[in-house]
Each structure stands twice: as structure tokens, then as C-alpha cells.
Amino acid sequence: MAATDWMKALPDMVSRWLPPHYVALGTDGFGRSDTRENLRSLFEIDPPHIAAATMVGLVRCGALPADRGAKAIRELGIDPDKTDPLAL
């Protein structure tokens, strides 16, 4: 396994020792060029998407009602029907 492959796999490898609802964020190895701001938005790791991921995690673990989580995500301007960036 090449060093770059190892670094890409590492977040998922350590997840078994972390609390449930672990989400790895990152853009390594996708071969795209753009501004950092645009790439962070494309790969959903900009502040609004991180906040939305937090809302989803809170809903999944029962700490936030689903309707409040959905409202917060709408207020962040997140499009839940956006194409998955990994499918581009």
C-alpha cells in the first residue's frame, strides 16, 4: 500500500475506537483544482456543511429532534438533493 493510500485509509481505520457517528472530512486525492473555498464547498467540508453534519449526528444520537435538525440544515442553505461529490 502506497503512503498516500495509507493516509486516505487512516481515518476510517481508527473509527472503530471512536464514539459512534464518526464522520471523516477531507479532500485528499481527488485531483481537482479550484480555490480552497470552492473545493471545501464542493466536498462539503466548509463551515455550513460541517454544521449540517453536526446536526445530523445530533439527530442520529437522539440529542436533537429531527424537525429541528432539518430546519437548521435549511437555514444553513444546504441542498439535501445535491449530487454526492464522490459521484462527480
Q: Above 80 in pLDDT, residue 9? A: no
pLDDT greater at residue 78 or residue 13: 78
What per-residue confidence (pLDDT) applies to 6? 54
Is 11 inside any structural domain? no
Query: Does 11 or 44 have the greater pLDDT score?
Result: 44
Number of domains in the chain: 1
| Residue 3 within a domain | no
Residue 46 lies in a domain: yes
Range of the domain at 71: 40-78
Confidence at residue 60, expressed as pLDDT on a 0 to 100 scale: 93
User: What does the chain look like in DSSP terms, one character per residue?
Assistant: --HHHHHHHHHHHHGGGS-SS------TT----S-HHHHHHHTT-SHHHHHHHHHHHHHHTTSS-HHHHHHHHHHTT--TTSPPGGG-
Flag whether 1 is in a domain: no
| pLDDT the model gives residue 26 | 61
15 inside domain: no
* Single pTM value for the model: 0.64
